[in-house]
Structure formats: structure tokens, C-alpha cells
Chains A and B, each alone.
Chain A
């Protein structure tokens, strides 16, 4: 896939010019593998749109039919919008780990456009606030919940795109100066007036932090508002306060998992020198910690509902966990939380590259199943009433249109990701080169050690 570029080995042992040349070469070269991937995902995305059209023909009256659509949206919201948080979180903790990881993770901000578009039809499925429990204290202030939900999802997506653009500016400028072909003009347009001056770098760092904070706040608010309005408030008697934090946690977990998988695929596609064992190890440990927290949150939900033995709560318990969707719940719990724990406590699995990547793939599947077990029952048991439900309705299985959408929309997200990776260099050039300035080896008595700078 790359042109006659030099493989730099481990990037931190290399020189800046070599790195720049290599990454730009990979960025310029669009090989057959890439076209194949784009082709396949485009076809699958078209299939998804066809499925969506089928579903639209059924109208919005039958809320249960849209359950899998909502679950797909929730899965994409969690994964796609959770991925940039990896970079932002590592930015807040001043970890140098973020430098190579930033490329794969922030690229996920671009499929956010698709997430926003998928969200819009869901608004017709949310009934007005009267006569049911809701987050807005019964008052439709400012068009709640429709306006605020749309605004929060939109703001989150915009924030992600803004962060993506901000972080990519220096690299787009590099493309403008050193690249070839029609993309140079596009990159130049996006890079704007970037000159690499002292003031501009200072502003860049400042705005990274500000946008990072805004993005995190937007993520928290969006997950809270969307999860409650689209799922929990539809079912009377479902008032689990941990629902929203659980969504945030699984979104972060999905983001980390998506980043790891993207990194794994990128390594396979040739970026072996930049996505090294250290990155997989670090993100793998974070994934393990988030899986443990996932077990914890699920258990907190379970024990509170189970212990009280109140009929209204028992119905919710059956609905989302141990009733008709038990196989889905067990599979989701195992793949998302339990299997990562079982696998990653072993050194050989955790301290490798394939280990975290495989576990992350399992986590993504588990996350999708988890959203299914939360949103599909919510849509089938939805009622406008204040009286808690007494029984869980039987399981709603996906039909053809549902399956087409469940395959098509994630494929669409991947398509946008692939296109974005050829818009902007897939590994963040400036962040990697910055590390070369901050890292050095020293002799300590008889050993060679690494010295890493911690600038304030």
C-alpha cells in the first residue's frame, strides 16, 4: 500500500523527516485493498438504507418494530462518540500514550454525522411527556424532550468534528506543503491559515483542552438525556438511576474497544511502526478496568432490583435481564465484561497485541447485544402510563429490514471512517514528532533507561 517509503522501525527511534515521509506516503497511496474495503462497506451501507426504507413504509405507529433501529443507533452513538474520548482522556491525564492513538481514535468523530442523521427519525417515536415518567420533571420546557435531545446529539457530533479538525490542522498543513495531487488543495482549505507559529501552537494546545472538556460534558449530557428519553422513560416503572451512568461507562468502553480494533486493523494495513505494543498494552489495561466497572454497574442494578422483591421492579428485572431477553443479556454480559476479565488477567493475553484486539472485538459485539437488550424491550413494552408494568412482553425478534439496518449502518460508519482516513493522515504526525523531542535514552550506572519529559 505504501510507496517507496522507508519503514522507520519503532517510531521513537527514528527521525522526524523519515516519519513524515512514511506517513504521507501511506496517506497518498490508495491501493486496491482500500478500494475493496470502501466498495464492500458502501454496498452494505446501501443495503442498510434499503432496510431503513422498508421500515419507514411501516410508519411510526408500531413502536416495537423500530426497536432494533434504536439499538443500532445507540450502539453507534456509544462506539463512534466514545472513541474520541480515548484521546481526550489521555490528554487530560497527560499521557504520552495518546500520541499514536490520537489518529485512529479521533477519526471516529467523522462517522458522527451518520449518528446524528440516524437519530432524527427516532424523535417521532418518543411520545410527548404528559402522563408518563420523564427526566424533565413533567414540564415540556423549550420543547423537551425533542429539542434538547437533538441539540445535545448535534452538539456532541459538532464538538467531535471540531476537535477532529483542530487536531488535524498541523497535519493538513504538512499535506499542503509536502503532498501531491488534488487532495493538497482540499487539505489546504481545511488547514486554513496554519503557519506553525508559536502563538498558533499555544492556541492549539489551549483549544484542545477546552474542546476536550466540552466534548466530555457533551458526551455525559447526551448519554444521560438520550438513554433516558429514548429507552427508560418509555417503560413505566423503570426508574433505574444508574441507567445513564451505565450508558456513559459502556460508551467509554466501546470507544476504547473501537480504537483498539481500528489500531489493530491499521497495523495490519501497514502502520506497524507507529502502533506499538505499548499502546495496545496501555489501552488493554484501560479496557480491563472499564470491563470491571461494567460488571460492577450491572451488579449494582441487579442487586437493587432483585433484593426489593417489589412487583413493579421485578417486571423491569424480567424485562431487561432475566426474562425473554436472557440469552441476549448473558451473551452481552459475557462478551463485554466477563470475557475481557477472564482473558486479560493472563499476562500472555494482556501483554500482547493480538490479545487486546481480539478482546476488543468481543467487547464491540457485546456492546451491540447490550444495546439490543435495553432498547428492544423498551420499545416493545413502551406505554404512556404512570402505572408500573406488571409483566414483560415476549421477545421481539428482528426481521429482514432490521438485520439489513443492523449490518448496514455500522458499515456506513466504517465507510465514513475509511474516507476520513484518506482526508487526513491516519496517524497524527505532529503529536508523534513531538514525542521525539520529549523522549531520550540515558545511561544509568550500567543500564540503559528511557527518560520521558513531563512538561506542565
Chain B
């Protein structure tokens, strides 16, 4: 870490707990706007539930469109949490320290949002909710385990449980600090949550073990969740979907969009909560360097899916791709997608100047997520539009305003969730920062002082 800071414990406590302890006016304004938007979304959803899915743009054959795109998109964003938190924790990367909790919180709220979409886009959501639970509620009929739509909730809820436990377990020492600084009802709230943390050596040892264990355990979950979501598509007979590569392709796409989303979130948090000493250009540099192989790997999988998709040289395989690449409006969307998701951001991250600038990282990572949203849409809608070999029923698709409102609302829901979380709990881990401070070191080699890290005794 080149621009290292020497920060005292008191300074760390004050800076990182300020968002929890003090509420600026801007918070109320932003939260209020988000709540308003969500109220509007509830109205829209109420209309859809009551009158029917006719308000959405879906038709025959494009039975899944924008709402399922949102589902896949948010599950994708949720992968960032595990990528950054557990993989960087297991590989002892020092630069993860400020980023982990924000990434995990984004994961949890993205998952909650994602889990809503299969429910609201089904025809009878009031039945979907409990008939897909693993119990024979009616007439002794259990859900169909063979359907990928039943694998989905198991995967998502496993991940959600794991991620929630992850956040909670790692947060216990921070809750103890909050308990010590709080009074009254808040003190009792934090005291209950932190389970009597005293900071003894034994408790710290268990904290370390718990962190490593849960990081390792959640890794298979992370790979499996988006694979299972991808199998919603790969198990279908739709020609452009039925590809063996969908699972790793979607996972690496999820990592790409997720890490980009975390970077966006870090820039926003840094500005919003004035955390310039904690989230430094070094962190954006590291995130950018992480994003390069991820972006390139994603592009390789995208290209393989595309090339082998055309491989059979049959009409059913070629037609959706001609639709995607050459037919309006999809051709415009395709160009926007490929430029936003890859051609503009990834080469730009090769330059140090871009990586170290929070503003440029914000712009490039926002572009990545715009592109990745379009990528999912371009897989789903054109794939369905020209799916059948009997070309008479090739269809079309027009987005409806209701779908767009619901899409925007999903962003607002996630934003509101992260905002409320940061109000109640510290969004940058406090004890992790202090640990990082303790482990900073310098080694003298010749005339140079090289920054070093103290390794913990194994």
C-alpha cells in the first residue's frame, strides 16, 4: 500500500462510527425520496397483481423479459460480496479491509431484491410464495424438484442465509464498540446483538477462525447460486439458451458486474460519508486491477458462448444472433452493451491514472453495470423471440412502462437497504481497520524502505 496512513484507534472509531451516530439532513432527503419511489412501485405492483401481467410487455413467445433480466442482474450483483470478502480474506489481501462489509451488505440487499422478482413476475404470486416452499401444502403435492425454478429459491436462500450470517459474525466486535459508546435503548439493542463481546484473547481467536471458516464455506455457495440461476435458461430447449457453458459464463459475468457494483458503491460511500482516509486511491487501483482479468475472462466466456452458439450453422441458432446483432432495437442495445461492458471500461483500467481516480472508476463501473444489464436482456428476449423452428410464430417485444418502473424501483430498494444499514451499523469494518493498522510494517532493503505486512502466526 503506497499511500498508507497512520491512524489512531480513537480517530478510526470517530470517523467510521460517525454515520451511525449522527444523521445529516442529506440522509433524510435521500431516504425520503427512495421511500416515495418505492411507494409508487407498490402501487404499480398492486395494479399488476390485481389486473394481471398484461401491464408488462410479455407476450408469446417472449414470456420472460425485463423482470427476469432484473432477477438475473441482481443475483449477479450479489456475487461481489463473496468475491471480495471471502476470497480476499482467504488470500490475505490487505486492501480488502474497508471494502468487505459494504460488499456483503450489497449482496444481502441485492439477493432480497432478486428473490422478489420470480414471485412478482409469476401469474399468481400469492400461490407461488408457498407452493414453491418444500412442503406439501395442498393435496399432498410437493414442489417439483426437477424444475430449475425450485433449485433457484434453495440456492438464493442458502446464499442469503450464509451472507447474512457472514455479515453478522464479522460485525460482532464492531457492535461491541457501538454498545460501549451508546446509551439507553440503543445500548441495549447493540448489547443484545453483540452477544457479550469482551475482546478477550480467546474470543478474538474464535473470531479469526469463524471468519476463515465461513469464508471457505460460502465459496461453493457463491459458485452454485448463479450457476443454478443460469440453469433456468440452460435447461430449456430454447436453442440459444441450451448451452453447457451457461453456468461458468453467468458466474463470471456476475463477478464482473458485482465487483463493478462494489466499486461504484465504494466511490459513493467515500463521498457521502467523507471516508477519504479509509478508502484511498490504492483501493480503487486494486479493484481496477482485479477487474481486468475478470473482464477479460468474462469476454472469453461470452465469445465462446457466441461462437459455439453459431457452431451448428442451423437457422434456429443463427436467427437469434442475427436478431441481436443486426435488427433494431436489439442492434443498438447490443452496441451499447458491448461498449459499456467491455470495450470502454476494460482497456481503460489498464491505465494507472484511470484506476486511481475515484471519479473515473465510478463512471467506468457504472457503464459496466449498464452493459451487463443489457447483456442479460439480450440473452433472454431475442433468444425467446426467435426460439422455435416453426418460424410462423416468431414474435416481437416492446418494453412496457410498468416494467421500467419496477426496474428502477429495484435499484431504489437496494439503495434504501444499504442506506438504512449504514445508519444502524458501521458500513466500514472498524476492527478490521484497526487490525490493518497494527499489521503495517516497513522493511529496510539497502537504501529503500519497502512497505510490508506482518503475517499472523499460523
A–B proximity contact (CB within 8 A) = yes
A residues contacting B by CB (< 8 A) are 92-93, 133-135, 137-138, 220, 224, 239-245, 292-293, 296-297, 300-301, 303-305, 307-308, 310, 386, 437-440, 442, 444, 447, 449-456
How far, in angstroms, from A430 to B206 measured CA to CA in the complex?
Answer: 40
Contact A239 B445 (CB under 8 A): no
Contact A239 B311 (CB under 8 A): yes
* A–B Cβ pairs within 8 angstroms, 19 of them: A93-B91, A133-B313, A239-B308, A240-B245, A240-B308, A243-B244, A245-B300, A245-B304, A292-B220, A293-B223, A304-B231, A305-B244, A307-B235, A437-B446, A440-B452, A451-B452, A451-B455, A453-B450, A455-B450
Residues of B within 8 A of A444 (CB): 454
Residues of B within 8 A of A241 (CB): 243-245, 304-305, 307-309
Q: Assuming A133-B311, A304-B234, A304-B242, is B247 touching A452 (CB within 8 A)?
A: no
Residues of A within 8 A of B456 (CB): 449
Residues of A within 8 A of B141 (CB): none
Residues of B within 8 A of A453 (CB): 443, 445, 450-452
Contact B313 A138 (CB under 8 A): yes
Q: Assuming A304-B243, A438-B443, is B453 touching A454 (CB within 8 A)?
A: yes
Contact B441 A310 (CB under 8 A): no
Nearest CB on A from B201, distance (A): 12
Residues of A within 8 A of B445 (CB): 437-438, 453
A456 to chain B: closest residue by CB: B2
Give the 8 A-B residue pairs with the shortest CB-CB distance, closest first. Answer: A241-B245, A241-B308, A300-B247, A242-B244, A453-B452, A453-B450, A242-B245, A240-B244
Contact B450 A438 (CB under 8 A): yes
Residues of B within 8 A of A450 (CB): 454-455
Interface membership of B246, Cβ < 8 A: yes
Question: Which of B91, B235, B245, B309 gathers the greatest number of chain A CB atoms within 10 Å?
Answer: B245
How far, in angstroms, from A299 to B451 measured CA to CA in the complex?
Answer: 44
Total CB contacts across the A-B interface at under 8 A:
116
Known: A293-B223, A444-B454, A453-B450. 10 other contacts (CB 8 A): A133-B311, A133-B313, A137-B307, A239-B308, A301-B244, A303-B234, A310-B237, A437-B446, A449-B455, A454-B451
Residues of A within 8 A of B441 (CB): 442, 451
Residue from A137, A310, A438 in contact with B310 in the complex, judged by beta carbons closer than 8 Å: A137
How far, in angstroms, from A70 to B81 measured CA to CA in the complex?
Answer: 43
Contact A296 B247 (CB under 8 A): yes
Residues of A within 8 A of B237 (CB): 308, 310
How far, in angstroms, from A447 to B454 measured CA to CA in the complex?
Answer: 12
Contact A245 B248 (CB under 8 A): yes
Nearest CB on A from B256, distance (A): 16
Interface membership of B37, Cβ < 8 A: no
Residues of A within 8 A of B91 (CB): 93
Give chain B's interface secondary structure class. mixed
Nearest CB on B from A320, distance (A): 11
- Within 41-57 of B, Cβ neighbours of A (below 8 Å) are at none
Contact B301 A308 (CB under 8 A): no
Nearest CB on A from B245, distance (A): 4
Contact B244 A300 (CB under 8 A): yes
Residues of B within 8 A of A456 (CB): 2
Contact B457 A442 (CB under 8 A): no
How far, in angstroms, from A451 to B307 measured CA to CA in the complex?
Answer: 48
Q: Assuming A242-B248, A310-B237, A456-B2, is B452 touching A133 (CB within 8 A)?
A: no
Interface membership of B21, Cβ < 8 A: no
- Within 413-431 of B, Cβ neighbours of A (below 8 Å) are at none
Nearest CB on B from A144, distance (A): 13
Q: Assuming A304-B246, A449-B457, A454-B451, is B223 touching A296 (CB within 8 A)?
A: yes
Contact B452 A454 (CB under 8 A): yes
How far, in angstroms, from A310 to B455 measured CA to CA in the complex?
Answer: 55
How far, in angstroms, from A452 to B452 measured CA to CA in the complex?
Answer: 5
Interface membership of B107, Cβ < 8 A: no
How far, in angstroms, from A144 to B370 measured CA to CA in the complex?
Answer: 37
Residue from B231, B245, B310 in contact with A303 in the complex, judged by beta carbons closer than 8 Å: B231
Residues of B within 8 A of A297 (CB): 248
Q: Assuming A245-B245, A453-B443, is B454 touching A135 (CB within 8 A)?
A: no
How far, in angstroms, from A301 to B246 measured CA to CA in the complex?
Answer: 10
Residues of B within 8 A of A301 (CB): 244
How far, in angstroms, from A92 to B289 measured CA to CA in the complex?
Answer: 10
Residues of A within 8 A of B453 (CB): 451-452, 454
Nearest CB on B from A75, distance (A): 22
Residues of B within 8 A of A245 (CB): 245, 248, 300-301, 304
How far, in angstroms, from A300 to B248 measured CA to CA in the complex?
Answer: 8
Nearest CB on B from A213, distance (A): 10
Interface membership of B312, Cβ < 8 A: yes
Residue from A300, A304, A449, A454 in contact with B94 in the complex, judged by beta carbons closer than 8 Å: A454
Q: Assuming A449-B457, A451-B454, A451-B455, is B235 touching A304 (CB within 8 A)?
A: yes
Contact B248 A296 (CB under 8 A): yes
Interface membership of B227, Cβ < 8 A: yes
Contact B313 A386 (CB under 8 A): yes
How far, in angstroms, from A452 to B458 measured CA to CA in the complex?
Answer: 14
Nearest CB on A from B428, distance (A): 22
How far, in angstroms, from A455 to B94 measured CA to CA in the complex?
Answer: 13
Nearest CB on A from B184, distance (A): 37
Residue from B1, B94, B313, B443 in contact with A440 in the complex, judged by beta carbons closer than 8 Å: B443
Residues of B within 8 A of A134 (CB): 311
Residues of B within 8 A of A307 (CB): 235
Q: Mark B166-194, 1 if CB is under 8 A from A, else 0.
A: 00000000000000000000000000000
Residues of B within 8 A of A386 (CB): 312-313
Residues of A within 8 A of B243 (CB): 241-242, 304
